[in-house]
Structure 1
């Protein structure tokens, strides 16, 4: 029975390690869904070539988190297999084997329920965040939570082309704030970055503009072209924004 208890403890530690890694990744600015996927991918040794994986590799703090997770996962997999074998070693009857199997299945089911419970997840996340902030030097900021990107709000990158509505005019003339859209920055075609640009900056073909706002507005701006139709779409969006204040009730994180 000691081997069964050891197996449950090892699996519990594995779940806890992946949860810590998930929280740590979100605190570097990665969304919760992507952080959870990357943490589980690294822990299981499954490789995926995705833009999120590239974002992990190119970010020093995220790279350190995933490297530590890979080291822990190697030892964890061997321990689980070894302990699982020992759990059934020396069983002298079918009934004894079934009893141990039932204990293992029941324990794993309980752990799975705890892992999926939103109240447990919320409490555990708060504890992990406090510990990471106190004992690590990670540049921890959950930007997705700060900007409420899990709701209707989004940050998008829009490549600028010649026939786009946003091209070749000063930002001030676009009146994007009246549509509830903020310009966070512009990456110029020469590789330079302009953060929080002023109203006199002109967007050129080849630039990439980063916007923050409600999803519906951002989709409309992305598809908007030069000409009367673009101006009419802008007027409709300004009127809609004025009639629909960008306010929503959110749960305050403590």
Structure 2
């Protein structure tokens, strides 16, 4: 029974560690979705080779976070497998085996429900952000002071996917500035960089946008799909920004 409890504790710590790493990577400028993917990849040792992964490796702060995740992930996986083996090896009592399986399944389902809860994630993210700001120096200070990265404002990289609302639109058509989002630059798939793009610049899938704005607005644009619902979300975001600046 102790092995089952140990396994559930390890899973809980793994979820917490990857969430902390996701927020830490987001503090370095990655979008939340990209940060989450890279954190989980490093922790599980999946080792996906993508353009995003190369950008993580080239960044000194991100590289340290990923290295720590890889170390903790290897230790966690070994411990989890050991606990699982100890929990079920030499089980001659069918009733006890059934109880252990039930406890394990119930524990995993409970942890999954907690990890999927928006309420829990929102409050946990707030606590993690406060801890990171107090005990670490993850903010990139050379531009933080320059463009006032304080409060709800952040500078992030957003990779454009084919189904994104902003894909295949010009900057003028997307009118992101009406949502309080400023496009500072665009990195093309071939590695070229376009600084201070103009309204006629077209946003293409595979490009990486350097965006500045409120955290909530940046998260919304990252998740927005290219459909009628996305158009309605854009109008709602514009109305929200107007209320903020009034």
TM-score tier after normalising by the smaller chain length: 0.5 to 0.7
Q: Paired residue for 1:221, among 201, 207, 211?
A: 201
1:4-62 Cα deviation digits (max 9, x unpaired): 11111011111111111011111111001101100010011011121111111111111
Shift in Å, 1:90 = 4.6
> What corresponds to 1:208 in structure 2?
194
- d(CA) in 1 for partners of 2:123 and 2:201? 39
Counterpart position of 2:31? 31
Q: In structure 2, what is the equivalent of residue 16 of structure 1? A: 16
Deviation, 1:185, is 5.7
Instruction: Tell me the SS of whatever aligns to 1:248.
Output: helix
Match of 2:68 in 1: 68
User: For 1:19 and 1:137, how far apart are their aligned partners in 2?
Assistant: 18
User: Within 5 A, what are the aligned runs for 1:94-133?
Assistant: 94-133=94-133
CA–CA separation in structure 2 for the residues paired with 1:11 and 1:38: 18
1:249 and 2:235 equivalent?
no
Q: Measure how far apart 1:208 and its partner are.
A: 2.1
Deviations 1:46-79 (A, max 9, x none): 1112111111111111111100000001110110
C-alpha separation between the residues in 1 aligned to 2:110 and 2:65? 27
Give the TM-score normalised by structure 1.
0.62
The correspondence for 1:146, drawn from 144, 147, 153, is 153
**Per-residue deviation at 1:138?**
1.4
CA contact (8 A) 1:21 1:65 kept: yes
Cα RMSD of the aligned pairs, angstroms, is: 3.9
Q: How big is the shift at 1:207?
A: 6.9
Aligned partners of 2:36 and 2:193: how far apart in 1? 32
Whether the aligned pair in 1 keeps the contact of 2:185 and 2:193 (CA below 8 Å) is no
Separation in 2, partners of 1:128, 1:208: 34
Contact 2:45 2:70 in 1 (8 A): yes
Structure 1 unmatched ranges of 5 or more:
159-173, 192-205, 213-217, 224-243
Q: Which position in structure 2 is the counterpart of 1:50?
A: 50
Structure index of larger Rg: 1
Which TM-score applies when normalising by structure 2? 0.64
CA change 1:3–1:211 in 2 (3 A) is: same
**Structure 2: how far apart are the matches of 1:148 and 1:155?**
20
Conserved in 2, the CA contact under 8 Å of 1:4 and 1:100? yes
Gaps of 5+ in 2: 159-163, 204-234
Aligned partner of 2:207 in structure 1 is none
**1: CA distance, partners of 2:106 / 2:183:** 52
